[in-house]
Structure 1
Amino acid sequence: MNTSEYTKVYYGNFILVTRVKDELEHLGIVPIVKDEGESQRLAGYASMNQGFQEVFVHNDELKQALEIVNRVKSEMEATS
């Protein structure tokens, strides 16, 4: 059973995560960005996922956040 109050809504490189984060914040959603690679580096360990980050949002804002993430992903795919 998952008792976390936060859910991961996106995973990607720093630039893409920044774009998603900015869009969420623009609508009043405060995301949490988790960077395992940086945490491992600071602890003195090698990291396989350097530069990749995860974006989490509170479960109360999950539906709206997923809509934003999907829109941003569609926009990024259209410009690729």
Structure 2
Amino acid sequence: MADSEYIKIYTGGTIIIQVIKQRLEDAGINPVIKDETESGRLAGFGSSLTGQPEIYVHESELETASGIVETVISEMETN
């Protein structure tokens, strides 16, 4: 996503990605999830790729999205 108006705000495990994604959507932000492992699996390449999913948001939503990510991470650490 180089040279785009989208900025990566988080890279991590699938479960926390899904929690962050839901919170962003609840706030009216439409994140883009990039998951090369899942894409490879769906294309028939098996699970040889070991990357982690990433969340991108539009640069105009960065401040709000960053606060949501920080909140989710904080909640996960306390549980």
- The structure in which a higher percent of residues are strand is 1
Deviation at 1:44, TM superposition (A): 4.3
Percent of matched pairs sharing the same residue: 46
Q: How does 1:43-58 map to 2 (within 5 A)?
A: 43-45=43-45, 46-49=48-51, 52-58=52-58
Q: Which amino acid aligns with 2:8?
A: K
* Cα deviation code 1:20-40 (max 9, x no counterpart): 001101110010111111122
Q: Mark the runs of 5 or more structure 1 residues left unpaired by the alignment.
A: none
Cα drift, residue 61 of structure 1? 0.2
Aligned length: 76
Which residue in 2 is equivalent to 1:72? 72
Residue 19 of structure 1: how far off its partner (Å)? 0.3
Superposition TM-score, scaled by structure 1 size: 0.84
Paired residues for 1:14-29 under 5 Å: 14-29=14-29
Please give the per-residue CA displacement for 1:35-65, whole angstroms capped at 9, x wherever unaligned. Answer: 111122334442122xx31110000100110
